[in-house]
């Protein structure tokens, strides 16, 4: 192949790549809008996994124009292999009927998994019809336009506990959650996230306030994984849960584990130093670092720097902040 034909091949490949990249960022058709959306994240292997936003990842794709055709092909093949889908799947495999003295209702077991990655963990929660109904009502208040074509299983006067009705609702609620998750603004909304996490968090914090640190920690560790998946675009929102885990580990005399989760929380607050958890977390981390023989001077410097910038006001300890969460 002569030089001119070789350059032409490179130009054609670059033009093709440009068309692909352009088409992937254009607005989807009406038909595509009705399909469940999948967030795509293309990252170099050593990239921070928090930076999985499609826009940011597209910006990292910058092949050198001096690459040969073969090198360009290998580059894009490598980038494609590193792309991974980020999508949650909702399954409702079973139910159970709960009978109290004055009430009877069905609990739906919801399994939430993440596909397109090596995530082998799953989150399991239970919700009843009235929980779904409350979610639907709350979402209608805030997202009336988006919810316009979303149907919700209606109540029936009789037969609510028959196998037929329960199975119908299992399928309906599964489709309902999948549809809600496909809508970007809804899946990122506090109301949707609260529906999936708040009952468990309330139970965990109740155990923490009661000194049941082992039970609280067990629940918090179950919830934190789901919270991370649901709030990928807002990592600061899980800081309270991370700090509650720190408190539990610390009171259970697991300083190494407490420090590990404290580092995760601090990494999410490095540009949010005005956050109410920042100073109490720093103070706790200094104590833990000293106990573990780690570098606490750098943490002490950050604390002193923070104090010089802020007015001297009363600040709660990390544990005092934690026990105040979800107090109704």
d(CA 7, CA 27): 32
- Say what the pLDDT of residue 76 is: 53
* Structural tokens at position 216: 């609280």
Contact 255, 288 (CB under 8 A): yes
What's the Cα-to-Cα distance from 83 to each of 53, 58, 294, 300, rounded to whole Å? Answer: 12, 11, 37, 40
Tell me the pLDDT tens digit for each residue of 215-224.
Answer: 999 999 999 9
Strands (E), the chain: 39-42, 83-99, 104-115, 122-128
- Say what the pLDDT of residue 233 is: 84
If DSSP codes are grouped into helix, strand and coil, which group holds residue 131? helix
| CATH tag for 197-327 (out of 1.25.40.10, 3.20.20.70, 1.10.10.2520, 2.40.10.410) | 1.25.40.10
Task: Domain 81-188: give its CATH superfamily.
Answer: Phox-like domain (3.30.1520.10)
Q: How far is CA 214 from the centre of its chain?
A: 24
For the chain, domain boundaries? 81-188, 197-327
Contact 223, 217 (CB under 8 A): no
d(CA 228, CA 230): 6
Contact 192, 178 (CB under 8 A): no
Total count of residues recorded for the chain: 328
- Say what the pLDDT of residue 80 is: 47
- Is 327 exposed, middle or buried (CB count within 10 Å of its CB: 0-12, 13-18, 19+)? exposed
* Structural tokens at position 233: 């675009």
pLDDT per residue, tens digit, the chain (328 aa), is: 444 444 444 455 445 444 444 444 444 444 444 444 434 333 443 444 444 443 333 433 445 555 567 666 665 555 444 444 458 999 999 999 999 888 899 999 999 988 765 556 789 999 999 999 999 999 999 999 999 989 998 887 777 889 999 999 999 999 999 999 999 999 999 999 999 999 999 999 999 999 999 999 999 999 999 999 999 889 999 999 999 999 999 999 999 999 999 999 999 998 899 999 999 999 999 999 999 999 999 999 999 988 888 765 667 999 999 999 998 6
């Amino acid at each position: 192949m002569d030089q001119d034909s070789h350059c032409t091949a490179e130009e054609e490949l670059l033009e093709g790549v440009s068309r692909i990249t352009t088409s992937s960022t254009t607005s989807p058709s009406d038909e595509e809008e009705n399909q469940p959306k999948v967030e795509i994240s293309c990252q170099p292997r050593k990239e921070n996994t928090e930076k999985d936003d499609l826009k940011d990842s597209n910006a990292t794709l910058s092949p050198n124009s001096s690459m040969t055709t073969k090198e360009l092909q290998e580059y894009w093949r490598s980038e494609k292999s590193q792309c991974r889908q980020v999508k949650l799947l909702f399954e409702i495999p079973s139910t159970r009927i709960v009978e109290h003295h004055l009430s009877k209702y069905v609990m739906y077991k919801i399994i939430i998994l993440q596909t397109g990655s090596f995530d082998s963990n799953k989150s399991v929660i239970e919700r009843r019809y009235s929980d779904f109904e409350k979610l639907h009502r709350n979402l209608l208040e805030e997202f009336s336009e988006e919810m316009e074509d979303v149907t919700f299983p209606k109540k029936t006067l009789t037969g609510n506990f028959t196998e037929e009705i329960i199975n119908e609702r299992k399928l309906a609620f599964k489709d309902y959650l999948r549809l809600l998750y496909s809508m970007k603004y809804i899946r990122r909304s506090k109301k949707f996230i609260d529906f999936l996490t708040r009952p468990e968090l309330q139970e965990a914090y109740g155990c923490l306030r009661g000194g049941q640190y082992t039970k609280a920690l067990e629940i918090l560790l179950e919830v934190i994984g789901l919270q991370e998946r649901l709030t990928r675009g807002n990592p600061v929102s899980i800081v309270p849960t991370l700090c509650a885990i720190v408190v539990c580990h610390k009171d259970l005399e697991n300083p190494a584990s407490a420090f590990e989760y404290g580092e995760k929380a601090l990494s999410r607050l490095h540009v949010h130093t005005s956050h109410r958890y920042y100073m109490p977390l720093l103070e706790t981390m200094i104590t833990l670092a000293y106990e573990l023989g780690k570098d606490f001077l750098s943490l002490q410097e950050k604390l002193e720097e923070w104090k010089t910038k802020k007015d001297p006001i009363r600040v709660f300890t990390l544990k005092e902040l934690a026990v105040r969460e979800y107090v109704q």
